[in-house]
Amino acid sequence: MQADPVDANALRSGVLTRALARFVADTQWRDVPAAVRNEAKRSLVNYFAVALAGSHDPTLDKAVGVYGRFRADQTATLVGRSERTDMLNAAALNAMSANVYDFDDTHIPTIIHPTAPVAAALFALAESHPMRGDALLLAFVLGVEVACRIGNAVSPEHYQRGWHITSTCGVFGAAAAVAKARALDEQRVAWALGNASVQTGGLVETLGTMSKSISVGNAARNGALSALLAEDGFSGPNAPLEGERGFLRVAAAQPDWTAITRDLGHEWELLKNTYKPYPCGVVLNPVIDACLDLRRDARWSLDDIEQIELTGHPLLRERTDRPGVRTGRESQVSAQHAVAVVLARGKAGLDEFSDAAVADPSLRALAGKLRFIDDASWPVESAQVSIVLRSGQRVSQRVHAARGSLAAPLANVELADKLRQLAADGCSGVDAQPLIDRLWKFESEDDAAAVMRLARI
């Protein structure tokens, strides 16, 4: 971690919070490079894909039922569903839907899934507070920038201590995005960040359970609420980020203060965003790639396997060493299940990470043969799977850059295909093609909420 770039008095005065707030308030669409504008649209294509996929998951069915008891009005859309609700509940539920399958985007290196909380908040706002497509895109870019820079400042310790970083940092991103969409000045953006700072939450312990969706939804809902409160003069502390008991010091023992403002406006965090080809934790992507390659060229049967060795960065074991999973949700963050199901079936779609797949006794037996080998010198985006056969023969496959990583990104056509496929898999009944066409031209859209009308039934 870096040493403090400013003295203690400057930190107490809120110099970092002010710098972020000023950046959000002052940045215009013309200031955003073309590559970042394009990545924003790619992120939204992926967002609608994964939100449609999760729209009828049991987690959403239960949440929609409970949240519906407390809705204030019916002004906002639920992606892939016929129900309507109020703005804050829509922000929460659509963020849950986009994240429930762990199929959403991933910022490298923090492993934040930035789009779910930020986009969900903005589209819910757009349905009652009209805005143009380019205005929503600008707010989205800035919200992601804020969430990921705060994440950079507390990583990797924050996640290692058990905080679910998408939730804890996502609330700041949603607050900044809605603040920008409402054209708040620097002071009110700073208040929005202060209001968000008291609403951070989410625990890694909840991964693989429905509970995880609560904090992801809260990040969108509470972030939007933070900005709307600030708009009406609801004030916050001077230094919610860098104060003596502010978020950064509470979230990490040695935060990297410089990460908040280093190259701000020149280096854009959205360009470090990646999109998953598989519905699971991002660190499993190279593992699945390797297993698919091994299965494709196999001259062995599953019965021939004595042991499976998985070599990768220690983070791989830390996040995915989950034997004996009991549900499809848990299987999305289990290397044991991922390796077994892909070697057995030769594919890695939603069906492979379902309750039915987890219940397959043959997969459980194969999963029990996995052992981890840690190597801190390996990049997080790489992994090697080695199969040791009963004959003593060893067959290995190493993936240096997983499909969907920064080094091997999904192409626009692949993202569009993902949206089409997940719209069908999610049983949403939504016609994906008109939605795709509008999203690729979103910056020229007069009504940013128009795509939400295409995404509902």
Looking at the domain assignment, is residue 391 inside a domain? Answer: yes
Number of residues written out for the chain? 457
pLDDT above 90 coverage of the chain, percent = 90
HSE of 274, CA atoms in CB hemisphere, 13 A = 25
Q: Are residues 309 and 265 in the same domain?
A: no
Strand order, beta sheet including 383-389: 370-374, 305-312, 383-389, 394-399
270 and 289 in a single domain? The answer is no
Q: What is the pLDDT of residues 43-52, one digit of tens each?
A: 999 999 999 9
**Torsion angle defined by CA atoms of residues 399, 400, 402 and 406, in that order, rounded to the nearest 10 degrees:** -170
Q: Is residue 406 part of a domain?
A: no
- Average pLDDT of every residue of the chain: 94
Using CA of residue 236, residue 240, residue 245, residue 247, what is the dihedral sign? positive
Predicted confidence (pLDDT) per residue in 339-384, tens digit: 999 999 999 999 999 999 999 999 999 999 999 999 999 988 899 9
Interatomic CA distance for residues 108 and 113, integer angstroms: 10
Domain range holding 210?
8-275+412-454
The arithmetic mean of pLDDT across residues 145-153, rounded, is: 98
- 164 with 144, same domain: the answer is yes
Helices within 14-132 (DSSP H only): 15-26, 34-54, 58-68, 87-99, 115-126
Q: 217: pLDDT confidence band, cut at 50, 70 and 90? A: very high
Whether residues 438 and 349 fall in one domain: no
Question: What domain count does the chain have?
Answer: 2
Share of the chain above pLDDT 70, in %: 97
∠ CA 200-204-207, rounded to 5°:
115
What φ, ψ does residue 69 adopt, rounded to 5°?
Answer: -70, -20
Same domain flag for 97 and 18: yes
State whether 267 and 291 are in the same domain.
no
226 and 112 in one domain?
Answer: yes
> So what's the pLDDT on residue 3?
41
Three-point CA angle 287, 60, 224, nearest 5°? 95
**Partners of 163 in the beta sheet?**
203
Residues 146 and 247 in one domain: yes
Residues 164-199: tens digit of each pLDDT: 999 999 999 999 999 999 999 999 999 999 999 999
Q: Who's near 223: CB < 8 A, 6+ residues apart?
A: 91, 117, 118, 121, 170, 171, 172, 173, 174, 175, 176, 177, 178, 196, 199
Q: Does 355 lie in the same domain as 444? A: no
pLDDT at 1: 37
Taking the C-alpha atoms of residue 169 and residue 143, their distance in angstroms, rounded to an integer, is 10
Q: Are 75 and 188 found together in one domain?
A: yes
Contact 378, 352 (CB under 8 A): no
**CATH number of the domain to which 314 belongs:** 3.30.1330.120
CA–CA distance, 331 with 351 (Å, rounded to integer): 11
| End-to-end Cα spacing for the chain | 48
Give residue for tokens 């996040």. 319
pLDDT reported for residue 152: 98
Q: Which tens digit of pLDDT belongs to each residue from 263-281?
A: 999 999 999 999 999 999 8
Q: Tokens representing 373?
A: 């080998």
Q: Which helix (DSSP H) or strand (DSSP E) does residue 306 occupy?
A: strand 305-312
pTM across the whole model: 0.92
